[in-house]
Structure 1
Amino acid sequence: MIKAVLFDLDDTLLDINFTAFMTRYVAGLSGLLGDISRTPAPLMGVPFTRGYLAMEDRDRSDDLTNHQLFINKVHALTGIPMDDPAIADAIDCYEREFVPAMRGGIVAARPQRGGRQAVDVVHELGLTCALATNPAFSEACVEARMGWANVSPEDFVRISNWDNAYRLKPNARFYQEFVNSLGLTCDECLMVGNDSRRDFARPDCGLRTIYVGHAWPRRAVWHGPMSRLARELPNIIRRFDGEETNKRDMASL
């Protein structure tokens, strides 16, 4: 039985030029840390890039949160202790006071058509609703983008961020740990996402993905625009629940 629906955020619930957002976000953070450490801001780009690549490394064997690994990598490359309380407070202030204003211009962030309705349908069906966004950002940064998508923390029982996750998408460990935190198993959940690479767990862990992007992944259990998903989600849920019932009936014969 399907008991939960997990949503991606960027380009799923939120229509955004994500590359432009990242450029603006990293530029601002580089300037902040450059001022603190008296390092030219442009020189911070390489350490940040390597920090993100370290989080994404498929061969990771550590048990650090994504945030801890990022901090360690940046510290090793720059000597800047991002977890120093004074520096951490400055970064938190930047993310809570300045990031929410980054939605305009070329970033062009706005709610994805049908996204709010799809979240509401999950609640109407009495299912668990969770936000399984790629956990490469802080809680504050995720919440800023949620606001642009016209959703709030109250809409979700759990929201991934780099402090509560140990891997990035599409690593199956991320999905398994996220689902387990809900008290569920992967086969009891549906993932809704737009990224044909990141929103399908690798290796396969039994989590089925509804695809709302522009491709047609073979592993998708449904594909189409988000605007249509809100209307069709109840039937999708009933289809999977019916399949599970049929399997149990056949097993009992």
Structure 2
Amino acid sequence: MSTVTTLLFDLDGTLLPMDNDTFTKGYFKKLIPHVAHLMAPEPFIAQLWRSTEAMVKNDDPSLTNEAVFKKHFLEAVNAREEDFFPLVEQFYAGEFGELSHLSEPTPLAREIVQAAVDKGYRVVLATNPLFPRPATEHRMRWAGVDGLPFELVTTYENSHFCKPNPNYYLEIVQKIGVTPESCLMIGNDAFEDLIAGKIGMETYWVTDCAIQEKAETSGKEQLPFDHQGTLQDLLRYIREELPALRS
């Protein structure tokens, strides 16, 4: 009998099918004009990547991802927060929301999460917290999972670690008061999502938009997983194989 009570769902490439490269290029193209008067496009994008990498590598539990990113970016470009970030935040709150065409939403996403909720499972949106809350809410809306009773949605404001740091998953279980062994992490990335298994979570590898490259280039073998399948398989698994926690 499964001891799982909580399902953690990745968003990009899992509940929201997409090609990461296509999406990233498209949204950078829209973001650049908002800051073009402050910084040329190429160095701006290069610094975005470097500051994102600093956020991913951070292991200081006293600093949110937002704090790490802003400090790294502003020191590198010798700028003030009030010059850059109101413009960036305005973009994420507004125009970013018009980029749904860079993803490939499926009605299966809402059916999957709703099926879990209907059977009594707690649900978490465990999306890599590289984005501010408004950008995450837009992507939830595109995926059709807005308004569902997620106990936690990880964003760069409320998280202190990123995938693939195991501390990202430990922070989630601490916040919602569960054990890793009672969680099933569901995601498409064979490294960033399946690494949840290292702290004792069950894992489900979603193969529709599977990402294996990082797993293969991390110097390690493919991380093990407990289940794998398409989104359609996942829906069937939740409906037919996971035991109901309430009738």
Task: Please list the CA deviations of residues 98-145 of structure 1 after superposition, one character each: whole Å capped at 9, or x if unmatched.
Answer: 0111122xx2x1323622211011111111111000111111111111
Q: Which amino acid aligns with 2:72?
A: K
One-letter identity of the residue aligned with 1:56: V
Counterpart of 1:194 in structure 2 is: 188
Deviations 1:80-114 (A, max 9, x none): 233x2x6443322211210111122xx2x132362
**Is it true that 1:29 corresponds to 2:27 in the alignment?**
no
Q: Counterpart in 1 of 2:236? A: 231
Segments of 5+ residues of structure 2 without an aligned counterpart are: 213-221
Looking at structure 1, the residues matched to 75 and 93 of structure 2 have their Cα atoms a distance apart, in angstroms, of 26
Give the Å deviation of 1:181. Answer: 1.0
Distance 2:85 2:202 in 1: 37
CA distance in 1 between partners of 2:174 and 2:59 (Å): 21
Contact 2:52 2:130 in 1 (8 A): yes
Which residue number corresponds to residue 73 of structure 1?
72
Q: Any runs of at least 4 consecutive aligned residues in structure 1 with deviations exceeding 6 A, and if so which?
A: none
Residues 31 and 43 of structure 1, relative CA distance in 2, 3 Å threshold: farther
- Pick one of 13, 16, 28 that aligns with 1:14: 16
Query: What TM-score results when the alignment is normalised by the length of structure 1?
Result: 0.83
Q: Relative to structure 2, which stretch is displaced further, 115-124 or 197-206?
A: 197-206
Task: Tell me how far 1:194 sits from its aligned partner.
Answer: 0.6
Aligned residues of 2:184 and 2:204 also touching (Cα < 8 A):
yes
Question: Where do residues 41-190 of structure 1 align in structure 2 (5 Å cutoff)?
Answer: 41-57=41-57, 60-61=59-60, 63-82=62-81, 84=82, 87-104=84-101, 107=102, 109-112=103-106, 114-190=108-184
Change (3 A) 1:145 1:215: closer
CA deviation after TM superposition for structure 1 residue 180, in Å: 1.5
Q: Are the counterparts in 2 of residues 171 and 203 from structure 1 also a CA contact under 8 Å?
A: no
TM-score (norm 2): 0.85
How many residue pairs are counted as aligned between the two chains?
A: 232
Superposed displacement of residue 179, structure 1: 1.6
The separation in 2 between residues aligned to 1:215 and 1:47, in whole angstroms, is 25
Cα gap change, 1:54 to 1:160, in 2 (>3 Å): same
Identity %: 25
In structure 2, C-alpha distance between the alignment counterparts of 1:4 and 1:202, rounded to whole Å:
13
Give the whole-Å Cα distance in 1 for the aligned partners of 2:26 and 2:79. 21
